[in-house]
Amino acid sequence: MTDSMHAISDDARVVVDEVLDYARRRALYEDIPLDKPLTPRDLSRLASGSISARGIGARRATALWENVLAPACVTTDHPAYLSFIPSAPTKAAIAFDLVVSASAIYGGSWKEGSGAVFAENEVLHWLAAEFGLPAGAGGVFMQGGTIGNLSALVTARDAARRRNRELGRPDPARWIVVCSAEAHSSIASAAAVMDVDVVTAAPGADGRLRGDAVTAALEAHEGAVFAVVATGGTTNFGIVDDIASVAAATKAKDIWLHVDGAYGLAAMLVERMRPAFAGVELADSLIVDPHKWLFAPFDACALIYREPALALAAHTQKAEYLDTLTDTADWNPSDLGIQLTRRARGLPLWFSLATYGTDEYRAAIEYGIDLARAAADEIEARPGLSLVREPQLSVVVFRRDGWTLADYQAWSDRLLEDQQGFVVPSSHAGEPVLRFAIISPLTTIDTLTGILDTLG
């Protein structure tokens, strides 16, 4: 029977039930363990041999996953996972992610996925309005911030090349993107892929990039800069650049402004935080990652353009078999970034927003900002601990007096081994530091003080 993997049969029902039962258990698990990595050697011993000519069956495969492989994956939405940028998908978003798979939705073209594309666009237009972009703004959910930044910068360079052609100006020998020294590593990565140069403009002592530094860079490299990147919440500290003055500098020279808000731009949904992001409304493109602070599962980046037509011009793939899609005025998400086939990865966020309403989102984000403040006060009050910087969003960076990187690492390893928390060391200006990145509304001040207590 060659169709046994696809046909609806009693066997198929057993397989689907097996997997959905596990997914249900996992999604509704209370007191979920933090878990930890195993060594390749241990995993080889415990879990190899699952790929065979005849298969091991859904029951055994699920058991292998549940009992051996899943516990070897750190739970990124655990309340005590405070490293990198954690995840904290809502129950509605997690559940709907299963629907996206079950429905075999194609999210690349309007013709094939209009309902899904419409729902994704509802979210993108809501976000664009929150960020103050004009009504014509639009975009696409990409895989993640790295690909979102790359796609935006490719559009920016394409627009600069077209402008040069229109004006009869030559392109520079080397194109340049300007960003802060504190910008995310994905900007340098995008530049490497695009074979363009990065010029870093020095941020102020407070870590914020300002317009004067950008103007200096633009004047030093007149005619070569195709985009400036401002960061709406740096990863290490949660610092928001002075986007208004950066925007003024780019507008004065007619240069593309991209705002990388992968982590932090979600904070703009909180009314009192909006002034910190003034100038975002002037962006030519921006990103914010739902899998970070918008409580969606991995992986999704909302990439939004002020003028989506410029992205279409840069990204639409041309092929005879695609003409039927691309030679129309349809809104085809594939054509706005670096991809062709695409999962409708914005749908879990759409479903969750539709389920709970935007107020819940605003409150959950504000909770993280307030908790970071409370954690900072707690750190300041403890002898031997000090803040490296006052938190602006939901990242708290601090030091334990006298500790070396090796001390931090040994403490971090022990914390995970004891299943109390996942807090890895970072560094700033050559100094090893600790960092709480708070995303989950289930993280409490007790979670954090419990961890601080272990710092002795």
Ligand X SMILES: Cc1ncc(COP(=O)(O)O)c(C=O)c1O
Sequence-distant (6+) residues with CB within 8 A of 319 are none
User: Can you tell me which residue has the tokens 């935007």?
Assistant: 358
Contact present, 439 and 82 (Cβ < 8 Å): no
Binding mask 301-320 toward ligand X (x if CB under 6 A, else -) reads x-------------------
Please say which residue, 301 or 452, places its beta carbon nearer to ligand X.
Answer: 301
Shortest Å distance, C-beta 300 to ligand X: 8
Within 131-221, residue ranges assigned H as helices are 145-167, 185-194, 211-220
Please say which residue, 201 or 301, places its beta carbon nearer to ligand X.
Answer: 301
User: Can you tell me which residue has the tokens 């960061």?
Assistant: 231
405 phi and psi, to 5 degrees? -60, -40
Shortest Å distance, C-beta 435 to ligand X: 12
Please say which residue, 147 or 224, places its beta carbon nearer to ligand X.
Answer: 147
87 interacts with ligand X by CB under 6 A: no
Answer for which of 34, 80, 82, 85 binds ligand X (CB under 6 A) is 85
Answer for which of 281, 284, 289, 366 binds ligand X (CB under 6 A) is 289
Name the residue number minimizing CB distance to ligand X.
145
Footprint on residues 259-288 left by ligand X (CB under 6 A): 260, 262-263
Please say which residue, 119 or 152, places its beta carbon nearer to ligand X.
Answer: 152
Q: Which amino acid is at 23?
A: A
DSSP structural state of residue 320: G
Sequence-distant (6+) residues with CB within 8 A of 113 are 105, 106, 107, 344
Q: Distance of CA 12 to CAs 7, 8, 52, 223, 258, Å?
A: 7, 6, 19, 61, 48
Distance CA 339, CA 393 (A): 32
144 interacts with ligand X by CB under 6 A: yes
Binding mask 318-357 toward ligand X (x if CB under 6 A, else -) reads ----------------------------------------
Please say which residue, 142 or 347, places its beta carbon nearer to ligand X.
Answer: 142
Region of residue 17 (left: phi > 0; alpha: psi -120 to 50; beta: else) = alpha
Bridge partners of 90, per DSSP, are: none
Count of residues that interact with ligand X, criterion CB under 6 A = 14
- The alpha carbons of the chain give a radius of gyration, in whole angstroms, of 24
Answer for which of 184, 315, 389, 400 binds ligand X (CB under 6 A) is 184
Shortest Å distance, C-beta 231 to ligand X: 6
Distance CA 406, CA 412 (A): 10
145 interacts with ligand X by CB under 6 A: yes
Q: Which amino acid is at 13?
A: R
Answer for which of 186, 215, 285, 332 binds ligand X (CB under 6 A) is 186
Shortest Å distance, C-beta 236 to ligand X: 9
By the criterion CB under 6 A, which residues form the site for ligand X?
85, 144-146, 149, 184, 186, 231, 235, 260, 262-263, 289, 301
